Chain A
C-alpha cells in the first residue's frame, strides 16, 4: 500500500513532467505558474500529514511516511516553487522547469524510501536532472560544469550500486554492511559535496548559471542527505560494535573536514558566488554533524539526544535549502551585469538588501531565524550527550569545533552584508528573481518564528 502523499506527489509531478512540453509551447514562460501550482499542492499534501502527528523516522517499507520524508519533500517542493519563478529568466524556461520537476519527483521518492530499487531509480533520476539543469543554461561555464558533474555522477553511481548490493544483499553480515556503508558515504560525499569528494563543487557552483545552481544546490542534495539519515540509522542499529562506531567516526571526520574546508575556502573569497559554493560545503558539514550525533546517540543508547539531533538536522535541511535557493537567485541578477564580486553588491535596493541580510544571517545562525534553531539543536546534541567520541579531555570538542567554525563564517558573511549596505548603484532585480529571494527570506523568518513554538 503506497501512502497518499507519495501517490499524490508521484501523480502530480509525473503528470506535470509529461504535460510540460505541451504547456511550455502554449503558455511560453507562464508555464511556471502551473509548475508553482503543482509544487504548492505537493508541499501541502505533505504538510497535511503533520496535522495528525508523525513519527520522526519510521522503520521499513517501500515508501515510508514520516517526518523525514515530509520535511524533505516539503522543502524540495517549496524550493521548486521558488526556482520555477527564477527560471523565467532563462531562454528555454519550460525545459528547465521540466527537469526541475523531475528532480523534485526524484527527491520525494528518495526521501521516502530506503528500498534498494526505488533508491537507485530515484538517485539516477536526480543525477540526470542535475546535469540537465546545468546544461540547459547553455553558457560555456554551465556546459563545462554539466559535463564534469555528469562524469563524477556516473562514477559515484557505480559506487552506490556496489554499496547498495553490500548493504542489502549481504544481509546480516555486519562487516559487509559496514563496508557498504563506507562506499555509500563516498557516493554521498560526491553528491552532497563533502571533502575530499567535493572537488567538483566549487568549480560547478562557483561558475555556472546561478539559477541552475540554485536548483542543484537546494534540491538535488536533499534526497541524498535524507537517504544518508535512513541508511546510517539502519546500519548503526543493525550491525552493533565495532562496525557501528566506525560509521559514526567516519561521519564525524567527514563533518569536521566539511566545516573546516568550506569555511576556510570561503574566508578569503571575494566573489560571492564562489563564496556561497564553499559555504554550501560548510553547511552540509553542520548537517553531517547532526546526523553523526543522531547515529552516535543511537549507538550509545541515548534516545533523548537522538531525538534532539534528528530534530536539529530536520531544521537544518530546509534552512540550508531555502537560503541557497534565495542567495543564488539573487546572484543570478548580477551574473550577466556587474558580475558577482563582493563590491558589485554595493547599493542594493531595499527589498534585495533585506532578503540578502535575512539569508546571510540565517546561514550564520542568528536568532530568530530558522538557521539559529537548527544550529542550536545540533550543537546542543553534540555537546549534551556523554558520547565518548565527541569529548576529548573533558571538553565537548565537537560542539566547540562547530562553534569555532561558525565564528570563522562570521567574517565572510558580514563582508557581504557590509558591501550590500555600502553606497553604490545596482538596478532592481527582475521581478521573478525577486519572488525567489523574498520568498525564501520570508519563509526563513516565518519558520524561525513558528518552529520554536511547535517543537521546543
Chain B
C-alpha cells in the first residue's frame, strides 16, 4: 500500500501555517479554527498511518517525490513509515491537536493571533516532517524548522511587558541577571540549539562522506561499513559526539539545558507544545532513530566496545540532568518554571535509558526511552495546560500567589493530580512503569552513579510535584492578588487537559500484561524497523521496585506533610539550607558561569581584537602609512632645493660617479 497520504501529515499543518499568514489577525476565529482543524486532520491521517503500519506487519514503507540531485544521488521529499515514526507521528499530532484546541480559547484575545497560528502550525508541521522524513536532508529541514518556530513562539510577546518575564526581577547571581524577557529568551533558545546544530550538521556531513547517501534506510544498511570507515580514521567517537550534539541541545540536556528554562516566556500553550509534543521530543526521536543503527552496525563490525564510552557518556549526562534539574525544581516559585525543570529532568531519564542500551538488553532500554517519551508527553501536556488555566485564574505565575485552588477548580485539581502522580511515579500510572524500568536497567547495567542519581532524582521529582500541587490547591490563600475570582476555564481549555490526564491514566492502566500497551508498543517498534530489536521480556526486580516506589512515596509524603494545612517549609533558620536553597534557585549558577565565562570572555576577546584593529591596523593604514608616504614625498621635493644650477651639477656628478663606481666594481675588479 502506498503511504503517499503520509506526506499530508506534515503538509497540512504547513498549509495551515501559510493560510494563517495570509489571513493574519483579521478573521481571528476562522484562522484559529482552520489551523486547529488542519492539525486535527493531520492527526487522523497519522493514526491511519499507524493502522497501516499495523496491518502491513510493520514493514518499512516508503514514499518519495523528487526534490534535487546531489552527486548523482536523488534526494526526495520522502516519508518513511515504520513503528517508531508511526507511533511518534500519531502522538505528536494528537497532542498538538489537543493543545491547539486549548489555544482557541487561551489565545482568543491575543493581538498577534495570526502570527501565533503561523508559527504554531509551522512548528507542528516541522516536527512531523522530521519524524516522518525518509532522508537526512528533509530531517534537517524539519529540525531547523522547529528551531525557528520555537524562537518565534518563545518570543511571541516580544514587547517584553514585565508580566511576561520569567525569573525574579532584580535577582542576580554572580552579577548576572536571573530574569529573562521574551525577546532575550527567544534568542537564547536559538543560540543554544543552533550552536549545537553546528555539530549535528558536521555529523551529517561526515555521515554523508562515509555513506554517500542521505537516505535513512540506506544509511541503516550501510552502517557497518560507515562505522568501519570512521573507526579506521579514528573519528568514531568524535563523530558520535558531534552528530548527537543537536539532539542534546534540542532535548535540553546538560550543558545545553539553559534555554528550556527561560523558554517559559512564551504563551503557556507554546510551553506545552515545546515540552510535550514537538521540540524536546525531537532529540529523543533522533536518539531512538539512530542509536539502534549504531548499535547493530557496531555489533556487526565487532566495534561494540569502541562505542561503549559514548553510550556511557549519554547515560551519565542523562542521569546528571535528571538529578540536577529535579533539584532545581524543588525550590522554584514559578509554576511554569517547575514544569520546565521537570521536563529537562524527565528527558534526562530518557537519555539515561538510551545510554544504557549496550550495557543491558538494548531493545528494552530503547523501548523504555520511547515509552517514557509518550508518558511524559501526555502528563506534561496536561500539567502545562492546567498551569495555563491556573495562571490565568490567579493572574500570577507564582505558586505562592495561588493557594486554595481546590475550592473553585476541582476538575483542574483532579487532572493536575493525575498528571502529578504519573510524574512522581506512582502506580498504576505510566510514569511509574517507565521510570522503574529505566532505574531497573541502570541497576542491572551496574552503572551505580547513574542509578544513584536517577533514584535521588525520583525522590526530588515526587517532592517537587506535590509541593506544587499542595501549595496551589491546598496552600494558604493570603497570597492571592486583589480582585481575582478562582474559576474553571472554558470547556475549550478544560477538555484538552482533562483528556490528556485521562490518557495518562489509561496508558498506565493498560501498560502491563501480556497484551498490554507495552508489549504492543514494543512489538510495533521492534519488528522490521530499520534496526530490529530482540524479543521483549520485562522482569522487574521486586526489591528494586520496592526501593524506588518507597522513595517516590517518601518524597510525596514529605511534600504533603510539609505543605498541607498552610504550613510553610521554613528553611531560613539554617544557614546551610539557605545557601543550598539559593544555589538551587540560581540554577546551580550555571547560567551565571555561562555569562561570566563565555559571554564576557568573548566580549573581552572582541574588545581586544577591536583595540588591536583600531590601534594597530587602522592606525597603520590611516595614519602611519600615509604619513610615511607624505614625508617621503616632501623629502623628494626638498631635494630640489631652490632650483639652482649648482644643485643640478652636484647631483649629476654624484650620479655619474655612482654609475662609474658600479662599473668599476663589477667590470674592472669583479
Q: Interface on A for B, CB 8 Å cutoff?
A: 148, 151-152, 155, 159, 175, 178-179, 182-183, 185-186, 189-190, 195-197, 199-200, 202-203, 242-243, 245-246, 249-250, 253, 261, 264-269, 408
Contacts and interface: CB of A to CB of B under 8 A. Distances in A.
Contact of B639 (A199, A200, A250, A266): A199
B652 A199 contact: yes
Nearest to A156: B652
B621 interface: no
Contacts of B666: 242, 245-246, 249
A264 B656 contact: no
A368 B629 CA distance: 29
Kindly name the residue among B634, B645, B659 whose own CB sees the greatest number of chain A CB atoms within 10 A.
B659
Nearest to B659: A182
A152 B652 contact: yes
B652 A196 contact: yes
A199 B634 contact: no
B667 A265 contact: no
Given A196-B654, A242-B670, A185 B659 contact: yes
B218 interface: no
17 contacts: A148-B645, A175-B667, A182-B659, A186-B659, A196-B655, A197-B655, A199-B651, A200-B648, A203-B640, A242-B670, A246-B662, A246-B667, A250-B659, A267-B630, A267-B633, A268-B630, A268-B633
B321 to A, nearest CB: 58
A191 to B, nearest CB: 12
B407 interface: no
Chain B contact residues: over half helix, strand or loop, or mixed? helix
A178 B670 CA distance: 14
B632 interface: yes
Nearest to B630: A268
A196 B651 contact: yes
B399 to A, nearest CB: 71
A149 to B, nearest CB: 10
Contacts of A253: 662
Contacts, number: 84
A249 B665 CA distance: 12
A34 B652 CA distance: 40
Contact of B662 (A190, A197, A250, A269): A250
A148 B632 CA distance: 26
Interface size class of B (residues with CB under 8 A): 20 to 34
Contact of B652 (A190, A266, A408): A190
B643 interface: yes
Contacts of B651: 196-197, 199
Contact of A202 (B640, B655, B660, B667): B640
B637 A268 contact: yes
Nearest to B643: A203
Contacts of A199: 639-640, 647-648, 651-652
Interface of B: 629-630, 632-637, 639-640, 643, 645, 647-649, 651-652, 654-656, 658-660, 662-663, 666-668, 670
A175 B668 contact: yes
A197 B652 contact: yes
A267 B629 contact: yes
Kindly name the residue among A245, A246, A266 whose own CB sees the greatest number of chain B CB atoms within 10 A.
A246
A265 B637 contact: yes
Given A186-B655, A196-B651, A264 B636 contact: yes
Contact of A242 (B630, B634, B635, B667): B667
A151 B645 contact: yes
A182 B667 CA distance: 12
Contacts of B639: 199
A269 B637 contact: yes
Kindly name the residue among B632, B633, B666 whose own CB sees the greatest number of chain A CB atoms within 10 A.
B633
Shortest Cβ-Cβ A-B pairs, 3 listed? A196-B655, A203-B643, A267-B633
Contact of B633 (A159, A183, A189, A264): A264
Contacts of A148: 643, 645, 648
A259 B346 CA distance: 76
B96 to A, nearest CB: 63
A197 B667 CA distance: 23
A175 B652 CA distance: 23
A265 B636 contact: yes
B663 A152 contact: no
B133 to A, nearest CB: 53
B633 A246 contact: no
B31 to A, nearest CB: 57
A199 to B, nearest CB: 4
A152 B652 CA distance: 9
Contacts of B656: 159, 183, 186
Contacts of A183: 656
A152 B649 CA distance: 8
A199 B652 CA distance: 8
A285 to B, nearest CB: 13
Kindly name the residue among B639, B654, B658, B670 whose own CB sees the greatest number of chain A CB atoms within 10 A.
B639
A151 B649 CA distance: 10
Contacts of A195: 655
Contact of B663 (A179, A189, A196, A202): A179
B48 to A, nearest CB: 69
Contacts of A200: 648
Given A155-B649, A199-B639, A246-B667, 19 more contacts: A148-B643, A148-B648, A152-B652, A155-B652, A175-B667, A175-B668, A182-B659, A182-B662, A183-B656, A186-B655, A186-B659, A189-B655, A196-B652, A199-B651, A243-B667, A249-B662, A264-B635, A265-B633, A268-B637
